[in-house]
Chain A
Amino acid sequence: GAGVSQSPSNKVTEKGKDVELRCDPISGHTALYWYRQSLGQGLEFLIYFQGNSAPDKSGLPSDRFSAERTGGSVSTLTIQRTQQEDSAVYLCASSPEQGRGNQPQHFGDGTRLSIL
């Protein structure tokens, strides 16, 4: 299908290591979002990309977290020096954005990150 694709689906790593999570949005969608969902919890906004505009990084919890979006398409979320509290499901979504979050978001299956 042509949905949002995230990889890897699962990632287990040791505390202190860096990890990269990838998101491939739906073709033509200009907006891309990253969220974090801890076990049994709601969605925590991390970062928002819209076209060529500067990303909204207001949700990133610390400077260990960063994200890029190359060519207006694929995005990579990087977590440096991982901590156990980073364990969560990281969700990516995209939408044909015309405003800040006013369009339905299409979500990927997520990456389940486990920090040992």
Chain B
Amino acid sequence: AQKVTQAQTEISVVEKEDVTLDCVYETRDTTYYLFWYKQPPSGELVFLIRRNSFDEQNEISGRYSWNFQKSTSSFNFTITASQVVDSAVYFCGGQNFVFGPGTRLSVLP
């Protein structure tokens, strides 16, 4: 069975700080996909990124970056120069409908 762990339940940072959200994925599959979703206070989950386990290159999109390390099954998400609008619950997910419990990020002005 697959399992996604997000050890950080809640994180608070001050605006403009960098913050990293951790995700660890356990599976016996040799190939798999991983995802990050954002759930703002309004409630609707929004897809952020999908990563294939074959690809260990870091990915950057604006202030967001993702670091996947297959050896440790970690898929961490960094927000650079955080903004108040980044405040949300962030979910890491894998295939087979498995999601982590989420990390609540609060960015304070």
Query: Which residues of A are interface residues toward B (Cβ below 8 A)?
Result: 33, 35, 41-43, 45, 48, 59, 89, 91, 93, 99-110
Q: Which residues of chain A come closer than 8 Å to B108, judged between CB atoms?
A: none
- Report the minimal beta-carbon distance from A87 to chain B, rounded to whole angstroms: 16
Q: Which residues of chain A come closer than 8 Å to B33, judged between CB atoms?
A: 101-102
Known: A41-B101, A42-B101. A102 touches B95 (CB 8 A): yes
Known: A43-B91, A104-B50, A107-B44. A33 touches B99 (CB 8 A): no
Asked if A42 contacts B102 (CB within 8 A), the reply is: yes
How many interface residues does chain B have, given as a range?
Answer: 20 to 34
Known: A42-B91, A104-B35, A104-B50. A110 touches B43 (CB 8 A): yes
Asked if A109 contacts B44 (CB within 8 A), the reply is: yes
Asked if A100 contacts B96 (CB within 8 A), the reply is: yes
Asked if A101 contacts B97 (CB within 8 A), the reply is: yes
Question: A105–B37 Cα gap in the complex (Å)?
Answer: 9
Within 8 A of A (CB), among B88-109: 91, 93-102
Asked if A101 contacts B95 (CB within 8 A), the reply is: yes
Known: A42-B101, A102-B95, A103-B50. 19 other contacts (CB 8 A): A42-B100, A42-B102, A43-B91, A43-B93, A48-B97, A100-B96, A101-B33, A101-B93, A101-B95, A101-B96, A101-B97, A105-B37, A107-B37, A107-B45, A107-B46, A109-B43, A109-B44, A110-B43, A110-B44
Q: Which residues of chain A come closer than 8 Å to B46, judged between CB atoms?
A: 107
